[in-house]
Amino acid sequence: MITKSFDAEKRAAKTVAELMVAAARTAPKGKGTDNLEIIIVEGDSKDKLSAEMRTIAEREGIPFFNRDAGNVDHSHVLVVIGTKIGPLGVPYCGYCGFKNCNDNRANHGICAFNTGDLGIAIGSAASVAANHRCDNRVMFSAGKAALDLGYFSEDIKIAYGIPLSVSGKSPFFDRG
């Protein structure tokens, strides 16, 4: 049996994506509260995501969404990590800009622990990709398009995508 490198590369990217999911899930979280939702996007769903990114670029006049859509097109798979938003009840905090969690809730604020936990999970996932020599790039644009497409439950309010590529040159370098 002979396996062509493209087939092996695509399978490798999917395997790395699955390992990234494990890393994101097990990353430390404030008060041990897991507010993350993690998905792997590939195939037609990936194509739909890049098309949505282009739609956003045109509708909102944001060129980098179009550039990032091209990067998604050249990736095998994406890991997209999102978080729910809700105060964790950490006493004497105020990192959200409000006096306490009750003020945060009353003003529909964003808990710093939710976004911090999301960042730690993204970093853990991206480090797995790097450790396996899989080219990757953290993208706000891909996460926003995934939210707009309803890829997550309605509780998820912030998400970032991490497309993965295995090729002779990273599509995420010299992006212009």
- Give tens-digit pLDDT for 11-41: 999 999 999 999 999 999 999 999 999 999 9
Bridge partners (DSSP) of residue 40 are 79
pTM of the model: 0.96
Residue 32, by phi and psi: left (phi above 0), alpha (psi -120 to 50) or beta? left
- CA R_g for the chain: 17
What pLDDT is recorded for position 176? 63
pLDDT at residue number 8:
95
28 SS3 class: coil
Question: What's the CA gap between 22 and 152, in Å, rounded?
Answer: 18
Dihedral sign, CA of 173, 14, 3, 74? negative
| Cα separation, 64 vs 115, whole angstroms | 23
Q: Does residue 59 carry a pLDDT above 90?
A: yes
* Structure confidence at residue 150 as a pLDDT band (50, 70, 90): very high
71 and 54 in contact (C-beta within 8 Å)? no
31 Cβ neighbours under 8 A, 6+ residues apart: 88, 89, 90, 113
Parallel/antiparallel/unpaired status of strands 156-165 and 135-136 = antiparallel
Q: Is 61 left (phi over 0), alpha (psi -120 to 50) or beta?
A: left
CA-CA distance, 68 to 140, in Å (whole number)? 9
CB atoms within 10 A of CB 78: 26
Q: pLDDT tens across 98-122, in order?
A: 999 999 999 999 999 999 999 999 9
